[in-house]
């Protein structure tokens, strides 16, 4: 098989050159990191689940007219995406206080917020992704006021839609992180949703018990990471046929 060119390797994904111009292959690894790489581990099956969950959520969002980079899933660990120019921001939406917001502002985890709050972080590992304001973003040219406006509008739609979708599966969407890219089509540019949406970048709590079904299980050493991600996939009705049994031969289905 011809070796593919790696475009970029991140903490949880690898980007390979795509099969046609303007496309990229996004490969989901089993690696997990937290604290900007301070904590590392491999969680068998995580990549398969995130590929599948992200495919489902991106497809559902496209169904309501949210533009995304997603084209199609290729196999258990890979999806074809459109090549975009990534905007160097993490856009975080919060519905319930948790994580860094709870720590920074002294609000108890689990406290519902009076309204959804959007925060921005500058994507820069050597600076630990610092919190920034719209002023920084436009002054330093990371995004134009128009780009920001588009991102905020899309983020609000994504939050409203995903909050309802997860609630239907008995899951509370506490907070999540989005990334956006610029998609060039001839001389026109559109802001589209990029990266992935999975339990790696969402906080998902069981509605009845508040049990964590997301990456906090890894960050906080709670165990049962794959089980939690599988539970999310199962409740969304998209449990992949085989996660643990990947490449381990045929399985008798009765
Ligand atoms: N998040 C993420 N990548 C990051 C930082 C945060 O995907 O580099 C997600 C995280 O999973 C959570 C939300 O963004 O759903 C808010 O994270 P927070 O700021 O509370 O940071 P944390 O407590 O995870 O360090």
Do both 92 and 178 map to the same domain?
yes
| SS3 sequence of 233-247 | HHHCCCCCCCCCCCC
Do both 92 and 201 map to the same domain?
yes
Atom of ligand 1 nearest to the CA of 102: 20
Say whether pLDDT at 244 is over 80: no
Do both 116 and 159 map to the same domain?
yes
Residue 15 is part of a domain; what is its CATH number? 3.30.200.20
Say whether pLDDT at 1 is over 80: no
pTM for the model stands at 0.94
Pocket test for ligand 1, best of 175, 179, 196 (most atoms within 8 A of CB): 175
Tens digit of each residue's pLDDT (9 = 90 or more) over 166-210:
999 999 999 999 999 999 999 999 999 999 999 999 999 999 999
207-230 core/surface letters (b: 16 or more CB in 10 A; e: else): eeeeebbbbbbbbeeeeebbebbb
What ranges make up the beta strands (E) of the chain? Answer: 6-9, 13-17, 23-28, 31-34, 39-42, 70-73, 78-82, 85-86, 89-96, 112-122, 131-132, 171-185, 188-194, 202-206
Atom of ligand 1 nearest to the CA of 35: 25
Pocket test for ligand 1, best of 37, 201, 205, 215 (most atoms within 8 A of CB): 201
Looking up tokens 């160097």 gives 88
63-98 core/surface letters (b: 16 or more CB in 10 A; e: else): eeebbbbbbebeebbbbbbbbbeebebbbbbbbbbb
Residue 239 confidence (pLDDT): 84
Residue 3 confidence (pLDDT): 76
The answer to the question of residue 72 being in a domain is yes
Burial label, 107 (beta-carbon count in 10 A; 0-12, 13-18, 19+): middle
Say whether pLDDT at 247 is over 60: no
159 Cβ closer than 6 Å to some ligand 1 atom: no
Do both 114 and 183 map to the same domain?
yes
CA distance 133 to 154: 18
Do both 90 and 194 map to the same domain?
yes
CA 44 / ligand 1 centre spacing (Å): 22
Atom of ligand 1 nearest to the CA of 200: 11
Do both 40 and 101 map to the same domain?
no
Residue 131 is part of a domain; what is its CATH number? 3.30.470.20
Tens digit of each residue's pLDDT (9 = 90 or more) over 5-41:
999 999 999 999 998 999 999 999 999 999 988 999 9
Pocket test for ligand 1, best of 33, 39, 86, 99 (most atoms within 8 A of CB): 99
Count up the domains in the chain and report the number.
2
- Quote the radius of gyration of the chain (alpha carbons, Å): 18
Do both 28 and 114 map to the same domain?
no
Say whether pLDDT at 242 is over 70: no
For range 100-112, the mean pLDDT: 98
Q: SS3 of 47, please?
A: helix
CA 183 / ligand 1 centre spacing (Å): 25
The answer to the question of residue 46 being in a domain is yes
Tens digit of each residue's pLDDT (9 = 90 or more) over 115-155:
999 999 999 999 999 999 999 999 999 999 999 999 999 99
Say whether pLDDT at 243 is over 60: no
Do both 124 and 196 map to the same domain?
yes
Do both 123 and 134 map to the same domain?
yes
Say whether pLDDT at 252 is over 90: no
Residue 253 confidence (pLDDT): 61
**What percentage of the chain has pLDDT greater than the value 70?**
93
CA distance 55 to 73: 7
Task: Check: CB of residue 54 under 8 Å from CB of residue 198.
Answer: yes
Q: Which domain holds residue 136?
A: 86-206
Do both 201 and 91 map to the same domain?
yes
Q: Which two tokens stand for residue 192?
A: 């589209």
Residue 193 confidence (pLDDT): 98
Do both 47 and 139 map to the same domain?
no
Question: Phi/psi zone of residue 141: left (φ > 0), alpha (ψ -120 to 50 degrees), beta?
Answer: left
CA distance 34 to 194: 21
């Amino acid at each position: 098989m011809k070796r593919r060119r790696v475009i970029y390797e991140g903490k949880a994904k690898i980007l390979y050159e795509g099969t046609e111009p303007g496309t990229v292959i996004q490969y989901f690894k089993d690696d997990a990191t937290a604290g900007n790489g301070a904590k590392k581990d491999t969680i068998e099956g995580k990549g398969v689940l995130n590929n599948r969950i992200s495919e489902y959520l991106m497809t559902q969002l496209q169904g309501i007219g949210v533009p995304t980079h997603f084209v199609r899933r290729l196999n258990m660990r890979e999806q074809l995406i459109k090549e975009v120019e990534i905007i160097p921001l993490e856009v975080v939406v919060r519905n319930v206080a948790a994580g860094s917001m709870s720590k920074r502002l002294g609000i108890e985890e689990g406290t519902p917020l009076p309204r959804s709050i959007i925060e921005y972080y500058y994507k820069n590992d050597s600076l630990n992704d610092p919190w920034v304001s719209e002023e920084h973003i436009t002054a330093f040219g990371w995004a134009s006021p128009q780009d920001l406006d588009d991102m905020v509008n899309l983020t609000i739609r994504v939050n409203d839609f995903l909050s309802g979708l997860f609630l239907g599966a008995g899951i509370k969407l506490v907070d999540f992180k989005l990334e956006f890219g610029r998609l060039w089509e001839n001389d026109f540019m559109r802001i589209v949703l990029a990266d992935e949406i999975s339990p790696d970048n969402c906080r998902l709590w069981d509605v009845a018990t508040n049990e964590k079904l997301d990456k906090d299980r890894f960050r906080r050493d709670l165990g049962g990471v794959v089980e939690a991600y599988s539970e999310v996939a199962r409740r969304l009705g998209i449990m992949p046929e085989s996660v643990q049994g990947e490449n381990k031969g045929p399985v008798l289905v009765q």
